[in-house]
Amino acid sequence: MPYVFDANKPIAIGCDHAGLEYKTAIAKWLTEKGFTVIDFGTYTANSVDYPDFAHPTATAVEKGDAAFGILLCGSANGVAITANKHQGIRAGLCWQNDVAQLIRMHNDANMICIPARFVALALAEQMLDLFMNTPFEGGRHANRVGKIACN
């Protein structure tokens, strides 16, 4: 499958303490595949506040400094809610492969949020691969996506 994001731009990634292990592994996995990764932290297992890392990750995507973003925390709900406060972000919470495909196909998601406490790392990598390689369908979905922004 073709890579659907701008491969010349880096990938933004961020997490809280619950997502640190997966963030580290996923960043390494992406780097081994030849991608550049911008890591917005956290960098230790100490308890932190997820918005402190979700906001800069989302900002990089929103400004176009990153092709897309990856956020991880325990449930992925907190980081998804935080990222979706940004007008240019469509962050989807994923827990299975079908969802990773659908957030791209139907919602044109530009960030994937993964619940590190509820999915295996291998599944997280599969979902990410599907996310990166699934195009937006457009059509009837484009009209819906166009109505998401508040402004």
The reported pLDDT for the residue numbered 58 is 98
Compute the mean pLDDT over every residue in the chain, rounded to the nearest whole number.
95
Known catalytic residue at 55: no
Residue 146 scores a pLDDT above 90: no
**Residue of 73, 86, 94, 113 marked catalytic:** 73
In a domain, 2, yes or no: no
Contacting residues for 12 by C-beta, under 8 A, at least 6 apart? 37, 38, 40, 57, 58, 60, 61, 65, 66, 68, 69, 70
In a domain, 121, yes or no: yes
Q: 18-64: per-residue pLDDT in tens?
A: 999 999 999 999 999 999 999 999 999 999 999 999 999 999 999 99
What's the pLDDT score for residue 2?
A: 62
| Residues of the domain holding 42 | 11-146
pLDDT tens digits, residue range 79-113? Answer: 999 999 999 999 999 999 999 999 999 999 999 99
Tokens at residue 126, please?
Answer: 């599969």
Asked whether residue 5 is assigned to any structural domain, the reply reads no
* Its pTM surpasses 0.85: yes
Domain count, the chain: 1
Residue 1 resides in a domain: no
Query: What CATH number does residue 65 fall under?
Result: 3.40.1400.10
Provide the pLDDT for residue 142.
Answer: 86
pLDDT 10s digits, 58-85: 999 999 999 999 999 999 999 999 999 9
39: in domain: yes
Q: What is the pLDDT of residues 135-144, one digit of tens each?
A: 998 888 988 8
Do the domain assignments include residue 77?
Answer: yes
The verdict on whether 73 is a catalytic residue reads: yes
